[in-house]
Amino acid sequence: MKRFLLILMVLINTTSFSQEEKESYKNIASKFKLFYNEGSYEDIFNMFDASMKTALPLEKALQFFQQNVNDSSGKIVNMVFYKTKQNAHIYKTTFEKAILDILISLDENNGINRLYIVPHKPEDTLPVLKRNITKMILPFNEEWNVIWGGTNVEDNYHVEYKNQKYAYDLLILKDEKSYIGDATINEDYFVFGKEIIAPCDAKVVRVINGVHDNIPGDKNPLQVTGNTIILKTINNEYILFAHLKEESIRVKKGQIVKQGDVLGQCGNSGNSTEPHLHLSLQNVENMNIATGAQLFFEKIKVNGEIKEDYLPVKGEKIKNID
């Protein structure tokens, strides 16, 4: 799973210089704010140039602005230009629930050809989290396989990405295969539809629902985590469950769950090419600015042997103690 950033077009990392706001950008930013607050996302889409419309078709654009931006951040309160990046303008944007940077780049006809939305909050103010102190069980009942897990890149490619460092990718293998039957059918994968349970007592702080499961082999990079749940422990640790099955989530934001409660089912939504669970521990709720931390489990079976306070590694079979 790639970085969880609310990015619509990839940008070249260049130095920023403070400049005056161009009138053309001022007009577009004003329209963007108006259309966004009115929920007129199709009008924002109509401001895109042809390349942006191809990269982000209308249906996905509507979902992006509603689910990835509005649901988590609310309406725009204030949108202030403060610097440029190449020819693009960056606006420090105060939403009802967040402060984000919105970068807008225009072509020669004032069509939006680049757009990204990322948190404005400086990283050095965020809490530090190395590992969990809350005692955890595995978030499933059967024996699963660790496809990616560990503290080095060879065992866990997530280590290269700060916001999901030490994350796990987990599924079920039988005879070294993850499915039986048709590889293009989600239901033929052993892990698809398996219950995901709460690893500890916690509060539900984030739910993303309504994202379609992909046909295996395809992926949805615009809704990176797909159907998602984030739990907050009593020790201010945040546990993220990604790629859950469409319409399977049983919990709501604000709900208190107990260890072992069913949260939803394993699926294949978001930036996922086959059914699996992406599980990670992070220092803050927002994955865009989070730093991943090591997630240990209190007492589990690893390849049939009991391990205590254990961090699973790629290639291992893991299961809760019966």
For the cut 70, the answer to whether the pLDDT of residue 123 exceeds it is no
For the cut 60, the answer to whether the pLDDT of residue 27 exceeds it is yes
What is the per-residue pLDDT across 244-259, written as a single tens digit (0 to 9) for each?
999 999 999 999 999 9
pLDDT of residue 202: 98
Give me the amino acid identity at 9. Answer: M
CA 1 to chain CA centroid, Å, is: 9
pLDDT of residue 13: 33
Determine the average pLDDT of the residues in 167-184. Answer: 97
Determine the average pLDDT of the residues in 94-104. Answer: 91
For the cut 70, the answer to whether the pLDDT of residue 263 exceeds it is yes
Does the 16-120 domain belong in CATH 3.30.420? no
For the cut 50, the answer to whether the pLDDT of residue 1 exceeds it is no
pLDDT above 70 covers a percentage of the chain that reads 93
Give me the amino acid identity at 72. Answer: S
Q: What are 10's two structure tokens?
A: 């990839």
Q: What residue segments make up the domains of the chain, in order of their start?
A: 16-120, 144-320
DSSP H helical segments within 67-149, as ranges? 71-73
For the cut 60, the answer to whether the pLDDT of residue 186 exceeds it is yes
**Band (16; pLDDT cuts 50, 70, 90):** very low
What are the phi and psi torsion angles at 313 (to 5°)? -130, 155
CB 246 within 8 A of CB 298: no
What is the per-residue pLDDT across 268-286, written as a single tens digit (0 to 9) for each?
999 999 999 999 999 999 8
pTM: 0.67
Distance CA 150, CA 101 (A): 33
CB 318 within 8 A of CB 146: yes
* DSSP tag of 160: G
Residues in the chain: 322
What is the per-residue pLDDT across 71-96, written as a single tens digit (0 to 9) for each?
989 999 999 888 888 788 999 999 99
**In CATH terms, are 16-120 and 144-320 the same topology?**
no
Mean pLDDT of the chain: 90
pLDDT of residue 5: 36
Distance CA 291, CA 282 (A): 6
Q: Which helix (H) or strand (E) holds 302?
A: strand 297-302
Superfamily of domain 144-320: Glucose Permease (Domain IIA) (2.70.70.10)
